[in-house]
Structure 1
Amino acid sequence: MLEVGMETSPRIEGGSRTTAQHWPTPDASAPPGESPDGVVEPCDLVTVPARQGLEAVDILRRGGAPAVGPVLHDGTCDTLGFLVPPGTAEAWDVPGSACTQTAGGGLRIPGVHTEPPVSGTGWLLPPDATGPVTDPVVLREALGEAARMIEAADNCR
């Protein structure tokens, strides 16, 4: 499992503040992770089981827009980690996933062609010019669709 030693967000009853805080941008990209002066910002990390994460990556990539940012995998490929904007963990409540708040904990959106920011991990999708992080609203929708697809496939057996 991807572990960065940070605190995960508790489920918020009665709805999600994530959606309210992170409305999709018109081009479905995440808010920029780099300020105009070139300073790299911290990010949060959404971790999911690899099967659901791989389905979500496929869903996001089929969407056409640069809706998926860097994605980490753990050394055993049991989990995937999506880099998301800082503050996402405060309201993340997607069942079967966790969002780790890393602000102040050293996890930062890396530059292109850099080593993963978490030891024992590798890049499934390395950082590139399409955008630094995944929009949490778009990720939430993709993870939900992925969970439904997996459930349907498992029920067909």
Structure 2
Amino acid sequence: MADTGEAAPCDLVTVPAREGLEAVDILRLRHGVGPVLHDRTGDTLGFIVPPGTAERWDLPGSACTQTYAGSRRGALPPVTGTGWLVPPDRAVRQATEPDRLRAALNEAVSMLAAVDRCRP
């Protein structure tokens, strides 16, 4: 675990980058978003959510695992090989609320499916 700030227990919801980027925009516009990680290859995003979320997370196409994250400015990402898309010091919240994240991800998947259907 790498962190220059105080590490607190949290969970991490990992999703494909395409859906995750749309969900970040939806959350920013409506409710605010907590810290978000990206992997260095650009394949996935990880949303910091409150501890205990992994025990009840069941959204297909995503995974939720327990981790620790720093909340202070300059905190290093809690997962090796990642960087901050939304760093802790720029996040509106310390963690994204799981029900709002689930709703944003569902909306993102629906929007992207509609876009894909419109392409020739």
Deviations 1:4-61 (A, max 9, x none): 9xxxxxxxxxxxxxxxxxxxxxxxxxxxxxxxxxx75300000000000000000001
- 1:85 and 2:47 equivalent? no
Percent identity, please.
65
**Partner SS, residue 131 of structure 1:** coil
Q: In the aligned structure 1, how far is the partner of 2:77 from the partner of 2:38?
A: 10
Q: In the aligned structure 1, how far is the partner of 2:92 from the partner of 2:105?
A: 20
- 1:141 and 2:103 equivalent? yes
Contact 2:34–2:95 at 8 Å: present in 1 too? yes
Contact 1:47–1:79 at 8 Å: present in 2 too? yes
Q: TM-score, normalised by structure 1?
A: 0.68
Aligned residue number for residue 150 of structure 1: 112
Structure 1, unaligned runs of 5 or more: 5-38
Aligned residue number for residue 43 of structure 1: 10
Q: In the aligned structure 2, how far is the partner of 1:125 from the partner of 1:141?
A: 19
- 1:118 and 2:85 equivalent? no
Q: One-letter code of the match for 1:60?
A: L
Q: One-letter code of the match for 1:121?
A: T
Aligned CA RMSD, in angstroms, stands at: 1.7
Q: TM-score, normalised by structure 2?
A: 0.87
Relative to its length, the structure with more helix (as a share) is: 2
Structure with greater Cα Rg: 1
Q: Which runs of 4+ in 1 moved over 3 A?
A: none
Aligned residue number for residue 58 of structure 1: 25
Q: In the aligned structure 2, how far is the partner of 1:150 from the partner of 1:76?
A: 21
Aligned residue number for residue 33 of structure 1: none
Structure 2, unaligned runs of 5 or more: none
Deviations 1:40-98 (A, max 9, x none): 530000000000000000000111x4x31000000101000000000000010111111
